[in-house]
Structure 1
């Protein structure tokens, strides 16, 4: 079977960026930046993005392009004879499934809020009223299931149409629309009366805020910045290596990774340019936590002239961000069946689509019928799935890619750099070998351990 290829370099960049650009950028990043002092946190995040996430992104692309296969067969093709690296593919497949088991539900929230904004549901409501609407949706399993199934159906239909005719074509449109809507919302937010204070908070670093409660606050901010930089580019489960397998060797992979991470970061920063000026303009606390997007912002839009329009556009942008990730990860899942078992694209989409819909149900029910299912220190079913993915599968999976590309028992440093540097553009820095081989694994393990600290504190009664 001849492997499909992207129709253009732009398609590869936009689809890879679409996979990275998701709710972590536009939901998690703004409220974490708000909690840790705005601009000072943003600078730390950008630094960690360069030294932490970019090298592993290049490695995923290199593994995919060198093998010309997705994670189902890439390690089989590149590993030394007799080694067991290929067993990681089952962890990667489980990780992709685990991510979509809760991501389809949260993406459905974005679609629901877009519809509610367009129909005027939030008109005249304060944050308490919007919170009641949100909680009412969570308590309704039928409504939640409907929007989740719409999300799954979109992912299946787009991937079923093929790489060029489905994934590439639709993602190009979604990403173009995402940037257009984002630009309109930024202009509206920064021109609000009183927006200047929000811009200063977001763009003028005040490092004293990082030490507001002593060194403990600073340490928390550092770990949060490391984690955000790492998770924002979606490395660790082969969701990027699949797109590496679809591209040719005309361009060096480091330059492509920089462009993709750059687009990802621009979206995160522009989301902040919407949220912080709007919050300060209407006297809302910018560090109000995960409810910032679903409770606080709809009430802010309701206070604006033409707020119904701006709210609809905001959740349209959020929906595009979420669906671009859904489509990209669905493509990785569908390609697994095609590469590993030789399934047709139609069969892989049918089998995996039904499985994804069924496996997404526990997250839906975890907010209503199964609301009592919780783990102390972690939370409900959605929080458990998120914790397993974000704090376990992603960092440990990234460590596998890192060791595979840098050790003699794996693919090896020389083979990795040779593949990364094939073509035109920015070279991977060979002088960074010591850092990548020895320091980067320590940083990854630090993020892994740091994720358990607050949970253990709760279990021991210290939190």
Structure 2
């Protein structure tokens, strides 16, 4: 029997897990929604929900991975009680990882593209309108989208082909180290800009009045969603790294370290963006265009802006690549757990991801006539919606049920695995919260995502009912089956 690969160090596990969690959402989405909902007051709300929502589910993913010593493709098969069907959860996990990479490779390619544009001076002496046009021209170019999508996919799988320790772990350590170094350089430059204090005040001094002005309920839901989705929970993207570590450390402490690193990147990104935007009088809450349109204009106005812009998009490229490499490793592990060699898994999945990424890469140009979620939407919007509003919350809900439900893996098994080793222990008194309250919150996030996407609750009812029917009718059937099996076993024993 082949020995499972292991991380060479605890630091490797923490950095690559954080690298998976640290993604473009930390830098792309976090600053602009913070800008929309009142700065520091929103940050406090986000941190609260990160601990209440993200941390417990992360511990569960790591526990399932470490206990089974498998990826999500096989972990439920190993841990589920006999004659139950919890292993069907793996299709949510596998589908989620592939679907995430179907659009993430394209967006990651944009970061590499913009890094080169900054180095070459493409944005220098360009008007605000011209900078915006460069972004639109990039989206409209099939050649640019395809080329950079292929490049970032090649880099990701090349790293995975070198193995866990010599490839994924080693490169992730270097990239995460470089990411923090580049960020700190950018922070020093940002906070020394004229009027940077105004941006820092907005970002660091809570003003709940501004939050109320922009809608308290909207701010709460935005904080819950960001805390939930920033860690990519529910699709087993983190569980695989639990399977690569030993049992010398308890998993709550390790999960907390990952959350801290993930939050630190998002927080430092704000220290770069808000002083820069306030210094040059631009809106930090300007949406996703903040990265590709607003910030290049900010760099144009800075002394040595070409250098600072290059460093910023280098940082963004590192953030994208750490996630891509981590998820590619998960995808490769799916195949390896099914008996494939790493070499075969890398090559087959390299071509599979290239093909699966084509719709997104071409969705802004050749396939722009396809507007699956209404006028003005793209294939990327659909793929992002499937992952963010469906597979992540429903997958997380299934992890919660599996780890707390007595017909699943069960609370005792989960708690025993989570608390094995030195370090912080997952408290037993929290069982009621993670068994009943947290699932309700996850379901609420799921429902609210549909309501926001489809404008009114009535438009969201049909797709919600269909999704719940697909997910929960089989679960109910498994429960009934298990009860019948248990009753039958009891009757046999009485006889």
Match of 2:301 among 300, 303, 318: 303
Report how far residue 204 of structure 1 moved.
Answer: 0.6
Report what 1:354 is aligned to. 351
Residue in 2 that maps onto 1:150: 151
The alpha carbon displacement at 1:378 in A equals 8.2
- Is 1:110 matched with 2:107? no
What does the per-residue CA deviation read over 1:15-44, in whole Å, with 9 as the maximum and x for residues that have no partner? 000000001101010011111111111100
Separation (CA, whole Å) in 2 of partners of 1:6 and 1:88 = 26
1:19–1:326 contact (8 Å) kept in structure 2: yes
Aligned match of 1:25: 26
Contact preservation (8 Å) 1:194, 1:281: yes
**Count of aligned pairs between the two proteins:** 458
Q: Within 5 A, what are the aligned runs for 1:38-437?
A: 38-213=39-214, 217-340=215-338, 342-374=339-371, 375-376=373-374, 379-437=377-435
* Equivalent residue, structure 1, for 2:447: 449
Equivalents in 1 of 2:56, 2:92: separation in Å?
A: 21
| CA deviation string 1:86-115 (max 9, x = no partner) | 011122111100000000000000000000
Identify unmatched segments of 5+ residues in structure 1: none
- Give TM-score, length-normalised by structure 1: 0.97
8 Å CA contact 1:155–1:326 kept in 2: the answer is yes
Deviation at 1:223, TM superposition (A): 0.6
Q: Is the 8 A contact 2:46 2:226 kept in 1?
A: yes
Take 1:286 and 1:55, find their aligned partners in 2: how far apart are those partners?
A: 31
Is 1:440 matched up with 2:441?
no
Q: Deviations over 1:340-370 (max 9, x none)?
A: 2x00000011111100001101001110011
C-alpha root-mean-square deviation of aligned residues, in Å?
1.3
Q: Distance in 2 between matches of 1:286 and 1:349?
A: 40
Q: Give SS of 2:73's match.
A: coil
CA distance in 2, matches of 1:399, 1:255: 22
Q: Tell me, in whole angstroms, the C-alpha distance in 1 between the residues paired with 2:291 and 2:130.
A: 14
Q: Give the C-alpha shift of residue 203 in structure 1.
A: 0.5
CA 1:459–1:376 in structure 2 vs 1: closer, same or farther (change >3 Å)? farther
Contact 2:451 2:457 in 1 (8 A): no
Determine if contact 2:6/2:164 at 8 Å carries over to the other structure: yes
SS in 1 for 2:347: helix
Decide which moves more: 191-200 or 83-92. Answer: 83-92
CA distance in 1 between partners of 2:427 and 2:456 (Å): 42
1:406/1:179 CA distance change after superposition, 3 Å: same
* Partner secondary structure for residue 455 of structure 2: helix
Query: Structure 1 residues 75, 461: closer, same or farther in 2, change over 3 A?
Result: closer
Deviation at 1:461, TM superposition (A): 9.0
Q: Distance in 2 between matches of 1:34 and 1:8?
A: 38
The ranges of structure 1 where at least 4 consecutive aligned residues each deviate by more than 4 angstroms after the TM superposition are: 458-462
Structure 2 length-normalised TM: 0.91
